[in-house]
Structure 1
Amino acid sequence: MKVLKVFAILLMIIGWLRLDWLMGMHSLKRKRRSSVYPWRKGEMNFYDDGVAWMKSLELDIMEAKRSICLLFYIIEPDEVGRRLFSLLEGRVKDGIEVRILCDALGSKNMKKWVKPLQEAGIHIALSRPLIFKGSLFSLQRRNHRKIVIIDGEIAHVGGFNIGREYVNLDPVLSPWRDYHLRITGSGVEDLLSEFQIDWQREFKKTQNHFEAVSHEAKGSFSYQIVPSEPVNMEAFMLDLFDLAQKSIFIGTPYFIPTEKLFSCLKNKLAQNISITILVPGTPDHALVQPASYHFLRELIDLGAHVYQFEHGFYHAKVLLIDEKLCDVGTTNFDRRSILINDELNVLTTDQRIILQVQQSIQKDLQHSVRISKDQLKPEGIGGSAMELVARSFSHLL
């Protein structure tokens, strides 16, 4: 009887969470903005190593002349985070305006650092504070973006956060593999607009001046800024997949597709379009791997090639269509990122960037193993139960 009661309570919790999710999604769709940024011209640099990217970021911060805006899902106040704080405090003394946004959940360890940084002259806020208002949906919706804007002229966008693991100092998850872009040109203004939207959500009662920089269309790289709120990320990905005539590559730390995206991928396999999926072999969350197994087994059965990265941790978020169209950014291939999180991607057709992304993918595949359907089957009752629980909570992962 006790087991039945526990099972009944669990079903009630799952049902309530599902209803809460559906109501939250309905509200989110009604509030969605409709603006979409056009294709822009500029220069782009690609990074797949956190140490090299951090050196580039620090150099841009040191050379800033007017303003520095930072937004990260995770900022850890470890030795890497504290080095960044020290650098930013020095720039404030030089008369540079510094603003920091970090997600209240992802950067929970930053709470005690807000006041000291404010006293040092840095404007800082925790984005999407954890305040329960009768629904878990608003708590689930996180600001997952990683954006830096220097002087309104240089921007950094991609998968790296701020912390020791991202610069290969974590003994378990190193080397950390991620893809990041440094951007100049007219698209930086679009990124600044997105930062301003996030900033003013947290500072509604204050007037905040954001530097409006007029960019000429300088640079030979063509790209488009794709933020999640004005752009339905699920529809955006479906449109990308519909363009595929030969191949689709998906690189993601978490593979929990929506029903529409899963159906689309199965249809593409039926059309003899090659699909390759790269995910981590070592998970950083307990439920994300078993939640993905059902989807991966079915796709493997239909002919997809699935690889697990076995040399550190794979955290990159990338879509590559026919080796002609590339999407790099912050959006994981899971339901939370695709449907509710604040995310931001960069779409490009530039073959110079695509070639660098391809080379990085090939390097990561060399440190990966191709897995079979049988390897993803749950082991025993415990494994089956874990997969059932993970699938039941998949919309929360």
Structure 2
Amino acid sequence: MSFFFRFLVLLVVWAGVDFCLGRRNQLKRAEVRKFPMRHSDFRLYTCGQTLYDDLFADIQHARHHIHILFFIVNNDRVSHKFLELLMEKARQGIEVRLLLDRIGSHHLSKDSIRQLRENGVHFSFCHTIRLPFLFYSANQRNHRKITIIDGKIGYIGGFNIGEEYLGHDPQLGNWRDYHLRLTGEGVQDLQVQFLHDWRDETKEDLIKESKYYPALAKGSALHRFVPTDGAYLQQAFLDLIEEAEHDLYIGTPYFIPGRKLQRALLRAAERGIRITILVPKKADHPLVREAKLPYCRPLLRAGCSIYQFEDGFFHAKIIMVDGRICDIGTANFDLRSLYINHEINCFIYDKSFIEVVKKEVDQDLENSQLLTLEEISNLPFSKRCKEWLATAVAFFL
């Protein structure tokens, strides 16, 4: 046995043991956290430019504090504009805290970080690679995207900060995503979640500081936030599927539901639920397109409708149940969001706002093409090999 082969075997064994022990350690610390029902007013964004215009304007008008968590801030023109704005506010004496995922925001330069700190921005990476579980910690990401301004305005959704989210990536084209702006009672829960994540990384405990929780008016839309730390998200999705009485819609860039959710979807189809799934036709990561195929075939045979978005790249994370419940957040319908990533979703129970969302969903479906069973059956050997590989590593896609 060659040295390289022995080394490869040892590496695979080490990674497996590291991941299992890291996962076990995470589950020991994970806890179910459900915020109470709140009433807030929402605005939905599906265009990156419109979102950035309003987000940057709200940041510009901040008077007390700005708390921001993103999975990705890139090292490009719009990212620099975003960081310059934060530094400008910090120089004005506004408290600014910026928390970024270490792997997701790896393009951010050391020089940019130095400038942020020199200009008064409280900056930290979260979920850095650390001992003793190196492989597991390298995969566990904080995928939440949260902004709180003065404790009165909140943002949550699928957009990050970068040129591609403006549709400037020539390979992906138009970027279709869903993001929420809210005012009202729910902002306090986003504040708690941000400060919880901030404390975990910096040891600075501000969760009970009253100055970050101003009095908030009651909004019109009933909702609650559901944060998950690599655990309990699957049960939340199972509950949504079980609640469906006639219609279930799932929009996700990565459709790798795993066995339990797949079985729940098939049971829903058996009881007559009309299931519609929207995924992108283009892929922004290797193998994600192939990883969904083993799940698509049984669903298509069961009568589910699966659409592929063709007008650019579809990155929205949304579930709608009977026009009664709408989930918009940061979690994809995939194994990584279910079992590894830290996510936060917003379950909305307001029919009038869900009607607004439904119009966007209908537009998405108009810009999509139905996937047929024939298209993904009898694939050539090379594509079947890619599918086998994608299935083997699906947990880490």
Partner AA of 1:270 in structure 2? E
Matches within 5 A, 1:83-232: 83-112=81-110, 113-204=112-203, 206=204, 208=206, 210=209, 211-229=211-229, 232=232
List per-residue Cα deviations over 1:236-290 (Å, max 9, x = no partner).
Answer: 1111111001011000000001211111001111111111110010000111111
Q: C-alpha distance in 2, partners of 1:19/1:239?
A: 32
Whether the aligned pair in 1 keeps the contact of 2:231 and 2:339 (CA below 8 Å) is: no
Matches within 5 A, 1:215-364: 215-229=215-229, 232-364=232-364
SS where residue 105 of structure 1 aligns?
coil
Whether the aligned pair in 1 keeps the contact of 2:280 and 2:308 (CA below 8 Å) is: yes
Whether the aligned pair in 2 keeps the contact of 1:14 and 1:392 (CA below 8 Å) is: no
Structure 1 spans left out of the alignment, 5+ residues = none
Which sits farther off after the overlay, 123-132 or 244-253?
Answer: 123-132
1:187 CA displacement: 1.4
Distance change (3 Å), C-alpha of 1:353 and 1:11: farther
Q: C-alpha distance in 1, partners of 2:205/2:360?
A: 43
Structure 2 spans left out of the alignment, 5+ residues = none
SS where residue 346 of structure 1 aligns?
strand
- What is the aligned partner in structure 1 of residue 66 from structure 2? 68
Partner AA of 1:68 in structure 2? I
Whether the aligned pair in 2 keeps the contact of 1:307 and 1:371 (CA below 8 Å) is: yes
The number of residues matched between the two structures is 393
Whether the aligned pair in 2 keeps the contact of 1:293 and 1:377 (CA below 8 Å) is: no
Whether the aligned pair in 2 keeps the contact of 1:74 and 1:102 (CA below 8 Å) is: yes
Whether the aligned pair in 1 keeps the contact of 2:75 and 2:109 (CA below 8 Å) is: no
SS where residue 74 of structure 2 aligns?
coil
SS where residue 255 of structure 1 aligns?
coil
Whether the aligned pair in 1 keeps the contact of 2:230 and 2:340 (CA below 8 Å) is: no
SS where residue 160 of structure 2 aligns?
coil
Partner AA of 1:358 in structure 2? K
Q: C-alpha distance in 2, partners of 1:390/1:9?
A: 23
Q: C-alpha distance in 1, partners of 2:262/2:16?
A: 19
Q: C-alpha distance in 1, partners of 2:370/2:7?
A: 39
Q: C-alpha distance in 2, partners of 1:323/1:207?
A: 40
- What is the aligned partner in structure 1 of residue 43 from structure 2? 45
1:139 CA displacement: 1.6
Q: C-alpha distance in 2, partners of 1:246/1:20?
A: 43
List per-residue Cα deviations over 1:49-105 (Å, max 9, x = no partner).
Answer: 111111110111111110001110000120000111111121112211111111111
Which sits farther off after the overlay, 256-265 or 84-93?
Answer: 84-93
Q: C-alpha distance in 1, partners of 2:378/2:389?
A: 12
Distance change (3 Å), C-alpha of 1:250 and 1:18: farther
1:12 CA displacement: 7.7
Q: C-alpha distance in 2, partners of 1:258/1:64?
A: 43
Q: C-alpha distance in 2, partners of 1:164/1:378?
A: 38
Distance change (3 Å), C-alpha of 1:12 and 1:249: farther
Distance change (3 Å), C-alpha of 1:78 and 1:230: closer
Distance change (3 Å), C-alpha of 1:150 and 1:378: farther
Whether the aligned pair in 2 keeps the contact of 1:155 and 1:183 (CA below 8 Å) is: yes
Whether the aligned pair in 2 keeps the contact of 1:36 and 1:230 (CA below 8 Å) is: no
1:323 CA displacement: 1.4
SS where residue 307 of structure 2 aligns?
strand
Whether the aligned pair in 1 keeps the contact of 2:231 and 2:338 (CA below 8 Å) is: no
Partner AA of 1:325 in structure 2? I
Q: C-alpha distance in 2, partners of 1:278/1:34?
A: 29
